[in-house]
Amino acid sequence: LLVEFAFELKKALQSINEQSFNHFVLKMGINHGPITAGVIGARKPHYDIWGNSVNVASRMESTGKAGCIQVTEETCAILQNFGYIFEQRGLVSVKGKGQLMTYYLIGKGVAGNVNPAYSTMETLKEEEEEEELAASDQQALLATHEQSGSSITTTESVH
């Protein structure tokens, strides 16, 4: 399932962050349904997908929280049949669709418990704490550079 890929992607990013001392985060959105797919472009052909299901998945990503996997109510219902655990986020305004009930994918149930390797909310809390620590470290670094008369520019990219 694509859900397993999403969990593996989160684990890989965590490993990258630990090894590179970066703090990259992902927002992921998952939806299901019919799509149209094909190769477009004569000079530079590429494969693409279209449709309402794709648009809603994109909105799940764009309206979600960093570090979380957000899904629609219908996708939640299907994935629960496979043992996945969710936390209700609530209604989210989705362009062209109105208010949709959404859920955060927390993990996969193992013998009545959530497998901690999949835990989304726990990871989100840890990431927020790390962000606060990194921000204070960055402020200290900037203050040090300001005192020495040098200049430093910082950028952060989160997609």
Q: Which CATH number fits domain 2-148: 3.40.50.880, 3.30.70.1230, 2.40.110.10, 3.40.50.150?
A: 3.30.70.1230
Residue type, 3: V
Q: Which residue has the higher pLDDT, 30 or 118?
A: 30
Cβ-based neighbours of 8, under 8 Å, separated by 6 or more: none
User: What is the pTM (predicted TM-score) of this model?
Assistant: 0.68
Asked whether the predicted pLDDT for residue 134 surpasses 90, the reply is: no
Catalytic residues: 59, 95
Residue 114 has pLDDT above 70, yes or no: no
Residue recorded with tokens 């959530």: 114
Query: How many secondary structure helices (H) and strands (E) does the chain include?
Result: 4, 7
Q: Are 131 and 22 in contact (CB under 8 A)?
A: no
Which residues, other chains included, contact 95 with Cβ-Cβ below 8 Å and sequence gap of 6+? 59
Residue with more model confidence, 135 or 47 = 47
Among 49, 31, 52, CA closest to 101: 31
118 has pLDDT over 90:
no
